[in-house]
Structure 1
Amino acid sequence: MCGRFTLTTPESKLEQRFQMSLDLPYAPNYNTAPTQSVIGIISKQGSRQVTHYRWGLIPFWAKDQKIGSRLINARAETLHEKPSFRHLFKRKRCIILSDGFYEWKRIGNSKQPYYIRMIDHSPFAFAGLWDTWKKGEQEIHSCTIITTQPNRLMESIHHRMPVILPQEYEDQWLDEKLIDKEALQSLLVPYTEPKMEAYPVSTMVNSPKNNNPDLLERI
């Protein structure tokens, strides 16, 4: 799964990398947790649009917001089967900006957190789905991060990893006109591990109250 991640890259570099203007409030986040606001991109008529999403999908048909805490991730293998995801898989795809994520490796009776990022520290995009939930005057845009099988780097840490889209596939994933299930599914594969690194970090990351650069320090 993916339960915590970071986005600390300077705004100007994000704009350059993702071909957009970040006309939203932005502050580095070293410990993004479910229900918090994340930055996502969708495509409208071929133009990239940047939006804040609440992490934890609230389908439009949900009776209340609580379901979002259970839908922070969506398994790539079953997107076309699950009622919460199958329509969004065709019509409401997004990318979620990140530059690293955390995962916990079980060691005996304890869990050791690891930080995983690109070797060159560059930002990247998770494949995601989004929806809008309304109740009265309240409107919430929310999202979920898609997960897949681990690559060689991740398999010793955890049995799942988030889908990281190579830059050249981002436009295809965002393409509103693309609804072919097989073509979309072919994008949801483990990212190539030679470009990534993973190392143990402090258990301070276990608490979302902790949010500072010290969380990224190797131990």
Structure 2
Amino acid sequence: MFYKLSNTSDVLKIEDAFDAKFKYPLLYKTAPIINGLSEQSLPVITMNNPKQIDYAIWGILPQDYKEDWDSFQNLTNTLNISLNKINALDWAYPLLNEQRCIVVVSGFFTSFLYDGEVYPFYVYEENHKPFALAGIYSTLADGFLSVSLITSALKNNFKNIHNIGHEFPIAMDDAHCKNWLSKDLELSNFGIENIDRLELKAHTISREFYKNDIIYDNVLEPANYIGLPKLSLK
């Protein structure tokens, strides 16, 4: 499960990167670590409004859901939904065709198990530019949005830095973003297996990352570990 993201890009960089404007720019706050296990909102662009950056609660809820976020998350964690398993969720599968979105991030995190210990990796685009992860969203009874990342087990280089799971977020370049948000998209022709085109980089960070209540200024800076082989996305 991927339950932490990073967003260190400012409003202008995000708007420029996606040729879209924030609906409520004053609400946006940068955060080196966003912990989805507590109720958090993420910047999203939906297929119904590709020129607007909105906010959605991370952890998708059923369409028109009326109860509290945590009451549903206690039943099933929906921070991520597997592309290979979503068709078994009759409440979520229609959203894949009708309510796709992209989630704007500046990074996400993976974990590598080596010699009995787990090491965190920070994954980001070259020059730390904001980029997009594939998602689906729902509209709640009060009008707010909720979102889930779509993950996939398709072949990619993330396995070099993440060996405690086989599902990964789908990071998309500009062309795939436009296609993902298109109402005319035929998913069978989308070519998800060819998406890995971003110049993503990764480095190990401090294992304090695994402590949910510890966030400090240089938490995303590289950390070196004696005995850990040099690992990368290449």
Structure 2 length-normalised TM? 0.80
Whole-Å Cα distance in 2 between the matches of residues 173 and 161 of structure 1? 17
Q: Is 1:183 aligned to residue 184 of structure 2? A: no
Alignment match, 1:217: 221
1:102 positional shift: 0.9
Q: Which runs of 5+ in 1 are unaligned?
A: none
Counterpart mapping for 1:145-160 below 5 A: 145-149=149-153, 151-158=156-163, 159-160=166-167
Read off the aligned partner of 1:154 and give its amino acid letter. Answer: K
**Letter of the aligned partner of 1:130 in structure 2?**
Y
Unmatched runs of 5 consecutive residues or more in structure 2: 224-234
2:226 is aligned to: none
Aligned to 1:97: 104
- 1:48 partner letter: K
Equivalent residue, structure 1, for 2:45: 41
Question: Aligned residue for 1:116?
Answer: 123
Query: How many Å separate the matches in 1 of 2:3 and 2:111?
Result: 9
Q: Deviations over 1:25-57 (max 9, x none)?
A: 11111111212111001133x642221111001
Bigger shift: residues 18-27 or 78-87: 78-87
Shift of 1:163: 0.3
Q: Displacement of 1:18 after TM fit?
A: 0.7
Aligned partners of 2:55 and 2:65: how far apart in 1?
20
Distance across 1 between alignment mates of 2:195 and 2:57: 25
Note closer, same or farther for the CA distance 1:27–1:62 as it changes in structure 2 (3 Å cut).
closer
Alpha-carbon shift at residue 16 of structure 1 (Å)? 0.6
Instruction: Please give the secondary structure, in 1, of the residue aligned with 2:94.
Output: helix
Number of corresponding residues = 212
Q: Name the residue aligned to 2:33.
A: 31
Matched ranges for 1:1-219 at <5 A: 1-24=1-24, 25-34=27-36, 35-44=39-48, 47-60=50-63, 64=67, 65=69, 66-68=71-73, 70-134=77-141, 138-149=142-153, 151-158=156-163, 159-178=166-185, 180-184=186-190, 186-187=191-192, 191-192=196-197, 195-219=199-223
Q: Distance in 2 between matches of 1:177 and 1:32?
A: 32
Write 1 or 2 for the structure with the bigger share of strand.
Answer: 1
Q: Which amino acid aligns with 1:117?
A: Y
State the superposition RMSD in angstroms: 2.3
In structure 2, C-alpha distance between the alignment counterparts of 1:140 and 1:55, rounded to whole Å: 11
